């Protein structure tokens, strides 16, 4: 009967030979998943025996990973913003850098809710999560607001043009008990006002628009790591400069964004000048500031109207 240590060593060598950039991490995560344990136990107890059934499941996982399939799809889940999300080929795998989008949206909403009086009976702030994919951004935001005691003050509409992705987002909203705050709609960018979004209707205007839209330049998509070939290409390909879909969303903001609202748009690390140029061309007179990620790279564009001072 094989032991944990020996099985891991062989798996690491196999994945290294197959071209994995993180063979040790991949092998440990997959074996821990098969055994229903964590990586710490695997490392601490290399002498533990592995039965034939879990060994066979681990081998099947290794076959898929050696062929390039992402670990998240093999496991069927991905951790994001402290939560576990179901993931599969219907939608893009949530990336760690997108957690900044959630943090900025949460901060904007908290500031809005606490900095000015809220009249009794005021409607909840309306948030759009455009291109929701797995629903990770919308659901993580709803959970963060719930923890802050503000869930009832915000209603989120999550939209995606792909029906499969919308189904996955609904599944994740239900799994995290957020379906009452996150209504999922099949739509190209912003859904029409009055459309059904769960138990709510899509509003005429949104106080906050967040979006992680495709932003990889078309020419770069074929050169991405093989794991990306398992993800839906429409969720990656943003056109010649990567900003085609983002610009389409910018064009909708004058009509669909509240006068004092904001849009938070994830972009690529080299797209700061491009998003500034896009806002200047499509939304003259509006403001655009780019927020860096933890590595100091441009990551989220904050787009707002410039309100002239009274008088």
Domain tally, the chain: 2
Q: Is residue 14 part of a domain?
A: yes
- CA-CA-CA-CA dihedral for 128, 133, 139, 144, to nearest 10: -80
> Domain check: are 34 and 161 in the same one?
no
Q: Within this chain, do residues 133 and 278 fall inside the same structural domain, yes or no?
A: yes
Residues 122, 18 share a domain = no
Q: Are 293 and 97 in contact (CB under 8 A)?
A: yes
Query: Are the CB atoms for 150 and 110 separated by under 8 Å?
Result: yes
**Is 221 contained in some domain?**
yes
What does each of the 311 residues of the chain score in pLDDT, given as a tens digit? 788 889 999 999 999 999 998 999 999 999 999 998 888 888 888 888 888 899 999 999 999 999 999 999 999 999 999 999 999 999 999 999 999 999 999 999 999 999 877 787 788 999 999 999 999 999 999 999 999 999 899 999 999 999 999 999 999 999 999 999 999 999 999 999 999 998 888 999 999 999 999 999 999 999 998 989 999 999 999 999 999 999 999 999 999 999 999 999 999 999 999 999 999 999 999 999 999 998 899 999 999 998 655 54
Q: Report yes or no on 73 lying in a domain.
A: no
Quick one: 40 and 144 in the same domain?
no
- Assess whether 61 and 203 both reside in one domain: no
- Assess if residue 297 is contained within a domain: yes
Burial of 257 (C-beta count, 10 Å sphere; 0-12/13-18/19+) = buried
Please indicate, yes or no, if residue 81 is contained in any of the structural domains. Answer: no
**Structural domain harbouring 19:** 4-67
CATH number assigned to the domain comprising residue 229: 3.40.50.150
pTM above 0.85, yes or no: yes
Residue 29 sits in the same domain as residue 171: no
Residue 84 falls within a domain, yes or no? no
Question: Is 53 contained in some domain?
Answer: yes
Dihedral sign, CA of 193, 196, 201, 206?
A: negative
- CATH code of residue 35: 1.10.8.10
Nearest to 132 by CA among 99, 100, 101, 166: 166
- Selection from 303, 195, 181, 183 nearest residue 253 by Cα: 303
Q: Are residues 143 and 258 in the same domain?
A: yes
Same domain flag for 219 and 152: yes
- Taking Cα atoms as reference points, which of 188, 178, 187, 185 lies closest to residue 154? 178
Same-domain pairing of 58 and 205: no
Sign of the CA dihedral running 237, 72, 89, 139: negative
* End-to-end CA gap in the chain: 82
Name the domain boundary from 67, 82, 113. Answer: 67
């Amino acid at each position: 009967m094989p032991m944990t240590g020996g099985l891991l060593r062989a798996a690491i060598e196999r994945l290294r030979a197959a071209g994995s950039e993180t063979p040790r991490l991949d092998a440990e995560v997959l074996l821990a998943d098969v055994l229903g344990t964590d990586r710490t136990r695997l490392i601490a107890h290399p002498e533990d025996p592995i039965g034939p059934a879990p060994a066979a499941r681990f081998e099947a996982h290794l076959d898929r990973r050696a062929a390039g399939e992402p670990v998240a799809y093999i496991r069927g889940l991905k951790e994001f913003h402290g939560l576990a999300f179901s993931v599969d080929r219907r939608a893009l795998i949530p990336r760690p850098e997108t957690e900044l989008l959630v943090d900025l949206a949460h901060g904007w909403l908290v500031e809005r809710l606490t900095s000015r009086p809220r009249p009794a009976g005021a409607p909840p702030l309306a948030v759009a999560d455009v291109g929701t994919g797995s629903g990770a951004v919308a659901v993580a935001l709803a959970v963060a607001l719930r923890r802050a005691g503000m869930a009832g003050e915000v209603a989120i509409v999550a939209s995606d043009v792909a029906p499969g992705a919308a189904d996955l987002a609904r599944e994740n909203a239900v799994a995290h008990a957020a379906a009452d705050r996150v209504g999922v709609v099949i739509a190209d960018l912003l859904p029409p006002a009055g459309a059904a979004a769960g138990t709510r209707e899509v509003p005429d205007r949104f106080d906050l628009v967040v979006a992680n839209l495709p932003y990889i330049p078309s020419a770069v998509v074929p050169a991405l790591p093989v794991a990306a070939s398992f993800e839906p290409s429409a969720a990656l390909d943003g056109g010649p400069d990567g900003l085609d879909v983002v610009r389409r969303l910018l064009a909708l903001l004058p009509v669909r964004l509240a006068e004092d609202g904001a849009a938070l748009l994830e972009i690529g690390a080299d797209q700061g000048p491009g998003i500034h140029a896009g806002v200047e061309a499509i939304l003259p007179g509006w403001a655009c500031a780019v927020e860096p990620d933890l590595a100091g790279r441009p990551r989220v564009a904050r787009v707002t109207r410039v309100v002239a001072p009274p008088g």
